[in-house]
Amino acid sequence: MERAFFTFELRPGTEQEYQRRHDEIWPEMVEALTASGWSNYTLFRRGTTVYAYAECHPDRATATAAMGATDVNKRWQEWFTDIIARITDDDGELFWADEVWHLD
């Protein structure tokens, strides 16, 4: 298992809609995340910045690739284009943060 953390930015004024869409998350999205190796996935928001934490099985690269290959992920990403201002860098990578320390 690898812990993963990334950030992204919402378009100003879309914070409530972003929350609403997650309040009504698609069951097939949850199923795909779980099947792809994502667990303990948590989103936090401060203003327009979203902070995402997840535990990826067996590792981040494998879980990310598996999820990226699903149809539901493609549909979810398309549904959020009007809300998410920037989620990847110029190379198409999420804005990952490196783990420095962890306390169990």
Q: Any idea where the domains of the chain sit in the sequence?
A: 13-50+61-96
102 counts as catalytic: no
For residue 65, the SS3 value is: helix
pLDDT at 24: 95
CA 53 to chain centroid:
8
Tens-digit pLDDT profile for residues 6-38: 999 999 999 999 999 999 999 999 999 999 999
Q: Catalytic pick from 3, 20, 22, 74?
A: 22
Tens-digit pLDDT profile for residues 35-93: 999 999 999 999 999 999 999 999 999 999 999 999 999 999 999 999 999 998 999 88
- Give the CA angle between residues 3, 59, 97 to the nearest 5°: 40
